[in-house]
């Protein structure tokens, strides 16, 4: 090493390590209030599962321009997902190891024991969707969005049907909880806004769309039921999954039972709601047909909480046998074209 190089290194070392209260050459890059330093601190908070602290740093302390960067927004979405009540790795591992085909109870079970914050999940979804369409987003972003769709379903159902947070719907189906109707009154009342007005036909009885009195009103409201708003969130959650199915398939094997069940669910959904009508990714895009279909699927034995078979009931105005347990949500009025 030349004398000049040794001298230069010595001078730099002395300059960089000088104290006595004087600034050194690293002062500018070590400032704790720079955007870079704040982002580093936010990621440390995320690593410690301190979601709200990380969110506060990104949303309230960084400059708007820096916070808008994709990598920062991805971190923000991750923080909101954590605040919602899940971690990405846990769900992926759960999907890989699951043998369940009942997708709605399974998605709810993933969040057993977690404190759920559905609004945080919604915020995470809005951040990822702001990156653009399926083709504009990266495969990793689409996969993360798929997991968020599962989280939207699981947290929405869990918040209403599983108050004990043990991962299982509490009580007896149709007595203590119900996924079929939008009850507007107190438990024990017949006040569902989506049922047909009461009548007493002798089953099987024909349905006359011009005469809604031909179908009885829903049974008395249970303690817990899924409202239309909640059912639309479930519908948009599964729409997100359907839209990004290829990203999920890339990390799950072809024989994965949950992936197979989701593919079957898409087929059954389109059989009822129509091809291309099952990929609504926000509540506002959920049509009456899709809302009806999601309630039917949640009531089914294959993928939901009930014992019925989707498609067993004939379409109006063919006869309905109101005593046939194979009919899903039999007192839920189908949308009339």
CA distance 216 to 153: 30
Would you place residue 196 in the very low, low, confident or very high pLDDT band (cuts 50, 70, 90)? Answer: low
Q: What is the pLDDT averaged over residues 205-232? A: 71
Delimit the domains of the chain by residue range.
69-320
pLDDT tens sequence across 247-277: 988 888 767 888 888 998 998 888 878 888 8
Strand partners, 205: 320
8 A C-beta contact, residue 194 and residue 179: no
CA distance 85 to 111: 7
Would you place residue 48 in the very low, low, confident or very high pLDDT band (cuts 50, 70, 90)? Answer: very high
8 A C-beta contact, residue 79 and residue 55: yes
Give the list of residues 6+ apart from residue 22 with CB closer than 8 angstroms, or none.
none
pLDDT tens sequence across 182-194: 888 888 888 887 7
pLDDT tens sequence across 124-166: 999 999 999 999 999 999 999 999 999 899 989 998 999 998 9
CA distance 196 to 331: 7
Q: What is the pTM of this model?
A: 0.79
8 A C-beta contact, residue 196 and residue 212: yes
């Amino acid at each position: 090493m030349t004398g000049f190089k040794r001298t230069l290194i010595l001078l730099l070392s002395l300059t960089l390590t000088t104290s006595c209260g004087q600034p050194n050459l690293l002062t500018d890059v070590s400032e704790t209030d720079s955007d870079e330093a704040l982002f580093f601190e936010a990621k440390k908070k995320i690593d410690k599962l301190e979601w709200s602290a990380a969110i506060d740093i990104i949303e309230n302390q960084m400059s708007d321009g820096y916070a808008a960067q994709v990598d920062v927004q991805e971190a923000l979405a991750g923080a909101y997902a954590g605040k919602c009540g899940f971690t990405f790795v846990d769900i992926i591992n759960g999907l890989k190891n699951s043998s369940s085909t009942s997708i709605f109870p399974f998605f709810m079970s993933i969040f057993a024991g977690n404190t759920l914050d559905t609004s945080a999940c919604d915020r995470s979804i809005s951040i990822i969707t702001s990156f653009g369409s399926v083709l504009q987003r990266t495969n990793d972003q689409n996969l993360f969005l798929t997991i968020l769709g599962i989280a939207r379903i699981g947290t929405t159902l869990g918040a209403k049907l599983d108050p004990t947070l043990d991962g299982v719907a509490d009580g007896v189906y149709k007595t203590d909880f119900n996924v079929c109707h939008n009850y507007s009154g107190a438990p024990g009342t017949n006040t569902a806004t989506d049922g047909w007005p009461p009548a007493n036909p002798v089953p099987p009885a024909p349905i006359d769309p011009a005469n809604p009195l031909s179908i009885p009103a829903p049974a008395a409201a249970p303690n817990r039921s899924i409202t239309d708003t909640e059912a639309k969130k479930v519908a948009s959650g599964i729409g997100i999954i359907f839209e990004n199915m290829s990203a999920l398939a890339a990390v799950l094997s072809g024989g994965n039972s949950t992936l197979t069940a989701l593919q079957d669910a898409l087929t059954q959904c389109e059989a009822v709601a129509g091809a291309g009508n099952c990929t609504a990714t926000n509540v506002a895009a959920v049509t009456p047909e899709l809302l009806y279909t999601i309630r039917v699927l949640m009531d089914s034995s294959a993928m939901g909480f009930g014992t019925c078979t989707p498609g067993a009931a004939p379409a109006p105005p063919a006869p309905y046998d109101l005593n046939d347990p194979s009919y899903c949500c039999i007192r839920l009025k189908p949308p009339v074209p």
